[in-house]
């Protein structure tokens, strides 16, 4: 495995490879909020909307 | 028609998604005349052929076609976004009739959701009560301080709109249920403004959410301040101070949607706004006359690009997937140029908004005209974000900054 394969710019937390306990050690509120939203997204099985017409 | 329109060829799509959001151009005219508006003031003038307000026949057909599409693709919810022009010009009765008809046709199998994007200059208490009662949430368009907003967001007499919008925002604050019903403020970035002044101004208005949008542009009509052949990054340079202050504020009660979206995408979210994370889009536009169209932002490219010959009266929503230009939004991941596919940050930027990739020479086979800005901004956000992760977790996640990835 080369270095590029070992490191990534992003990581898909929807794969549930990380437990709540692991993520809970992150202190920043905006990151905790993001993790919670991604977990909710994974549970909903929703890919969310992606409109772009100035939609709310 | 531009040569690139002819060269667009249908391809096998791997990431096509059913349509769950409908942007409804219920009023084709606007009481404002914003200088940057893609509907009225870029290259496309097709709005002149549209009726002023969407008819009852088009409303009926839209809802019925949305229902059949939802049933075919097993979607249990659908979102209708009232848009324009200025959608409040359609009148209160239009909103009553539309929501009543949608609820009647769609429930209980499909749950409709409604929202409206307004310039807020026509908002009254009666409107706010009506929208709240009908469960139509709303977003407001405003570009910042009076001076900055009024540089572009003017009426047909050239008068600034800030104070009329502010009056609408003040009305919203008179009742908590109105505040709860508001989605936030949508702002088009003006790099001539002072970014932190804009951010702090929005915070002072008491709103809970803002979205910062890149101006509509192409390689042929570059955004203000960008030289496509140059190296400058004015939009990243404008956004980064705001990100830093917002991230330091760490206030989960105040959302900057662009930044929250970037953070989500770094950690695998599939939710994307249109400027970044252009994963397969799931919305179409229904024009005032019922024509089914891809994103109106494509109108920045060339005259008539969104006119694909479909209409809710005579066509099914599924037919859009056969139209090449729709694939730019419906299967955006498949349509990226090779340079984007090989880029380390494509999982976050998604290649940016398709119109931003357009040039009359190469069609959409270009990186975004905002590529340098997106790369600088996203790399900055990612570096800040992973800097907040404990070392062990960061290593487990195998995350590296752009600098580290490039140096490897």
Cβ–Cβ under 8 Å, residues B238 and B191:
yes
Question: What average pLDDT does range A18-42 have in this prediction?
Answer: 88
Contact A14 B260 (CB under 8 A): no
Q: Which two tokens stand for residue B106?
A: 């769609």
Contact A52 B281 (CB under 8 A): yes
Chain B environment of A52 (Cβ under 8 Å): 273-275, 281, 283, 295, 297, 353
CA B173 to CA B177: how far, in whole Å?
9
Closest by Cβ to A47, choosing from B17, B275, B348: B17
**C-alpha distance from A47 to closest chain B C-alpha (Å):** 5
Residue B45: the pLDDT is 65
Q: Could you give phi then psi for residue B255, rounded to 5 degrees?
A: -100, 130
Q: Could you give phi then psi for residue B167, rounded to 5 degrees?
A: -60, -40
Would an 8 Å CB–CB cutoff place B408 in contact with chain A? Answer: yes
Residue B79: the pLDDT is 95
Three-state SS annotation for chain B:
CCHHHHHCCCCCCCCCCCCCEEEEECECCCCECCCCCCCCCCCCCHHHHCCCECCHHHHHHHHHHHHHHHHHCCCCEEEEEEECCCHHHHCHHHHHHHHHHHHHHHCCCCEEEEEEEECCCCCCHHHHHHHHHCCEEEEEECCCCHHHHHHHCEECCCCECHHHHHHHHHHHCCCHHHHHHEEEEEEECCCCCCHHHHHHHHHHCCCCEEEEECCCCCCCCCCCCCCCCCCCCHHHHHHHHHHHHHHHHCCCCCEEHHHHHHHHHHCCCCCCCCCCCCCCCCEEEECCCCEEECCHHHHHCCCCCCCCCEECCCCCHHHHHHCHHHHHHHCHHHHCCHHHHCCCCHHHHCCCCHHHHCECCCECCCCCCCHHHHHHHHHHHHHHHHHCCCHHHHHHHCECCHHHHHHC
B189 DSSP 8-state letter? -
CA B62 to CA A12: how far, in whole Å?
36
Residue B39: the pLDDT is 63
Residue B365: the pLDDT is 85
Chain A environment of B263 (Cβ under 8 Å): 30-31, 34
CA B146 to CA B151: how far, in whole Å?
8
Chain B environment of A15 (Cβ under 8 Å): 268
Residue B324: the pLDDT is 76
Query: Which residue in A has a C-alpha nearest to residue B396's C-alpha?
Result: A18
CB contacts < 8 A (A, B)? 170
Question: What average pLDDT does range A27-36 have in this prediction?
Answer: 94
Q: Match 């693709």 to its residue by tokens.
A: B73
pLDDT tens per residue across all 408 residues of chain B: 444 443 444 444 445 678 999 999 999 999 999 887 766 565 566 667 889 999 999 999 999 999 999 999 999 999 999 998 899 999 999 999 999 999 999 999 999 999 999 999 999 999 999 999 999 999 999 999 999 999 999 999 999 999 999 999 999 999 999 999 999 999 999 999 999 999 999 999 999 999 999 998 999 999 999 987 889 999 999 999 999 999 999 999 999 999 999 999 999 888 767 678 756 567 889 999 999 988 777 777 777 777 889 999 999 999 988 887 776 665 666 678 889 999 999 989 988 888 898 889 988 889 999 999 999 999 999 999 999 999 999 999 999 999 999 886
Q: Choose, out of B85, B269, B285, the residue to mutate when testing the contact with A (most A CBs < 10 Å).
A: B269
Chain B environment of A16 (Cβ under 8 Å): none
Chain A environment of B138 (Cβ under 8 Å): 56
At residue A51, does pLDDT exceed 60? Answer: no
Identify the helix (H) or strand (E) that includes residue B83: strand B77-83
Nearest one of B270, B274, B280 to B330, comparing CA atoms: B280
């Amino acid at each position: 495995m080369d270095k590029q394969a070992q490191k990534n710019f992003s990581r898909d937390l929807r794969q549930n490879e990380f437990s709540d306990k692991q993520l809970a050690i992150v202190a920043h509120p905006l990151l905790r909020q993001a993790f919670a939203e991604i977990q909710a997204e994974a549970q909903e099985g929703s890919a969310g909307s992606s409109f772009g017409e100035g939609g709310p | 028609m531009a040569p690139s329109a002819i060269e667009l060829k249908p391809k096998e799509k791997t990431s096509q998604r059913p349509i769950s959001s409908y942007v409804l151009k219920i009023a084709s005219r606007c009481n404002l005349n914003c200088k940057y508006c893609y509907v009225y003031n870029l290259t496309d003038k097709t709005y002149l052929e549209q009726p002023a307000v969407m008819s009852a026949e088009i409303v009926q057909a839209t809802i019925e076609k949305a229902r059949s599409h939802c049933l075919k693709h097993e979607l249990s919810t659908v979102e209708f976004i009232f848009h324009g022009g200025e959608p409040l010009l359609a009148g209160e009765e239009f909103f009553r009739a539309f929501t009543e008809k949608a609820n009647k046709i769609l429930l209980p199998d499909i749950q409709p959701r409604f929202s409206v994007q307004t310039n807020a200059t026509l908002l009254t208490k009666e409107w706010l009560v009506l929208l709240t009662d009908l469960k139509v949430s709303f977003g407001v368009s405003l570009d910042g301080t009076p001076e900055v907003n009024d540089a572009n967001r003017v009426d047909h007499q050239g008068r600034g709109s800030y104070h009329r919008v502010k009056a609408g925002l003040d009305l919203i604050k008179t009742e908590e249920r109105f505040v709860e019903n508001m989605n936030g403020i949508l702002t088009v970035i003006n790099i001539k403004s002072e970014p932190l002044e804009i951010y702090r101004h929005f915070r002072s208005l008491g709103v809970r959410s803002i979205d910062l949008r890149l101006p509509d542009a192409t390689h042929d009509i570059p955004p203000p301040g960008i030289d496509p052949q140059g190296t400058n990054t004015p939009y990243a340079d404008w956004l980064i101070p705001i990100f830093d202050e917002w991230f330091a504020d760490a206030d989960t009660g105040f959302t900057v949607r662009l930044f929250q979206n970037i953070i989500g995408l770094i950690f695998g979210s599939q939710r994307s706004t249109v400027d970044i994370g252009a994963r397969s889009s799931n919305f179409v536009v229904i024009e005032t006359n019922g024509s089914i169209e891809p994103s109106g932002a494509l109108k920045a490219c060339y005259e008539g690009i969104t006119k694909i010959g479909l209409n809710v009266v005579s066509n099914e929503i599924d037919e859009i997937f056969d139209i090449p230009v729709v694939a730019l939004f419906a299967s955006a991941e498949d349509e990226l140029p090779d340079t984007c596919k090989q880029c380390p940050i494509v999982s976050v930027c998604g290649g940016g908004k398709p119109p931003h990739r357009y040039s009359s020479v190469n069609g959409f086979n270009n990186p975004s005209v905002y590529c340098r800005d997106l790369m600088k901004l996203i790399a900055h956000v990612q570096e800040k974000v992973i800097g907040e992760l404990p070392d062990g977790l960061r290593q487990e996640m195998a995350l590296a900054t752009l600098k580290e990835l490039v140096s490897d």
